Amino acid sequence: MRRAGALAVCLGLFLTLTSCAPQRHTSTFFAMDTVMELTVYGGEGILDETEELVRALETELSVTDEQSDIYALDRDGSADLGEDAAALMERALELCALTDGALDITVYPVVRAWGFTTGEYRVPDEGELVALLDLVDYTKVKDLTLPEGVMVDLGAVAKGWTSDKAAELWRSRGITSGLMNLGGNVYALGKKPDGSLWRVGVRDPFSDATLAAVEVEDKAVVTSGGYERYFEENGVRYHHIIDPGTGAPARSGLASVTVIGQDGTLCDALSTAFFVMGLERASELWRNALSGVEAVFVTDGGEVTITEGLEGSFEPMNDYKNVEIKVIRRG
């Protein structure tokens, strides 16, 4: 009798839980030059609202859209910046300083010379790069005003900022579970509706396969990799992450860097900067100046190194199952 009672309680609980389980809603759209995928549990209307938010941010932050605030800033040297463009400019300049210029938003004249924003790819000659590098120095940006010839590009941080703003919107609407993938910038809100952690895939930079899964809650997972955008000329591959020191695509020995933490803008800035810095300099910065962020480094040779906070939540997959994973420790 007691057993039957317990069974009835369980069944009741099960029915209540399943009938109350929030419904899954998804959307996919193209914005900020990439495919964006949203999944939320509960609150279907939030998807359209999120897409509108993303498009509004793109209109402020895009470096190529002639209507954007950043386009006007680059053209005129000063502009009436919207709230997000102004706030992200300030934040990005702090992050340029934190990374000692490995992230440098004034690298844009060089990025443009390689054709990475227009798609008209070319290899600039040494003289051209030397002349353009004269314009690259984020410390020259004062009061959100640019000296003659200096141009900024928020492309290395804009998607991270957007993910933070979208997560803020979701929270303000009472969403407690959702996942967004803004073209390599993932943000996992809360946990899955069943109470388990989100499992986010880290891509193998050498194939379309997944290198590992990381289990997260309320975190951004942001990857920068040479494979994301590149062209080839005379058998040489040139990718889109520029070393502000040389004006050429960064050749730091890394094929990809993934950064995981609560602040999507910080993670986006760091994934780009770490890629430029290489494993050794990035580890040093991580040990000395960063807390609350973790990273996965994949070298050109396919070696994988993780920071110690990921131990236990990082699960190698496919070709990486039996590969030795090195760990960077603070001590």
Q: What are phi and psi of 117, to 5 degrees?
A: -95, -25
DSSP state of 197: P
Binding region for ligand AMP (CB under 6 A) out of 7-15, 100-108, 139-147, 206-214: 100-108
Strand runs (DSSP E) across the chain, as ranges?
24-31, 34-41, 177-182, 185-190, 198-203, 210-216, 219-225, 230-233, 236-239, 254-261, 293-299, 304-307, 314-316, 325-328
Q: Does 276 bind ligand AMP (CB under 6 A)?
A: yes
Q: Does 264 bind ligand AMP (CB under 6 A)?
A: no
Residue 163 interacting entry, from ligand AMP, Mg ion, none, C-beta within 5 to 8 Å by type? none
Q: What 3-state class would DSSP assign to 200?
A: strand
Residue 153 interacting entry, from ligand AMP, Mg ion, none, C-beta within 5 to 8 Å by type? ligand AMP
Binding region for ligand AMP (CB under 6 A) out of 3-11, 150-158, 201-209, 211-219: 150-158
Nearest approach, Cβ of residue 317 and ligand AMP (Å): 23
Distance between CA 236 and CA 253 in Å, rounded?
A: 15
Residue 146 interacting entry, from Mg ion, ligand AMP, none, C-beta within 5 to 8 Å by type? none
Nearest approach, Cβ of residue 186 and Mg ion (Å): 13
Q: What are phi and psi of 47, to 5 degrees?
A: -65, -45
Token duo for residue 96: 């340029």
Binding region for Mg ion (CB under 5 A) out of 130-138, 207-215, 268-276, 302-310: 268-276
Q: With b meaning 16 or more CB within 10 Å and e meaning fewer, what string describes 294-326? A: bbbbbbeeeebbbbebbeebbebeeebeeeeee
Among 39, 162, 210, 272, binds Mg ion (CB under 5 A): 272
Token duo for residue 64: 């190529």
According to CB under 5 A, which residues from 148 to 177 bind Mg ion?
156
Q: How many residues bind Mg ion (CB under 5 A)?
A: 4
Q: With b meaning 16 or more CB within 10 Å and e meaning fewer, what string describes 150-163? A: bbbbbbbbbbbbbb
What character string, x for contact with ligand AMP (CB under 6 A) and - otherwise, covers 194-223? ------------------------------
Nearest approach, Cβ of residue 173 and ligand AMP (Å): 27
Q: What 3-state class would DSSP assign to 222?
A: strand
Among 93, 107, 200, 212, binds ligand AMP (CB under 6 A): 107
Among 240, 259, 261, 283, binds ligand AMP (CB under 6 A): 240
Distance between CA 218 and CA 194 in Å, rounded?
A: 15
Interface residues toward Mg ion, by CB under 5 A: 156, 268, 271-272
Interface residues toward ligand AMP, by CB under 6 A: 103-105, 107, 111, 116, 153, 155-156, 224, 228, 240-242, 244, 268, 271-272, 276
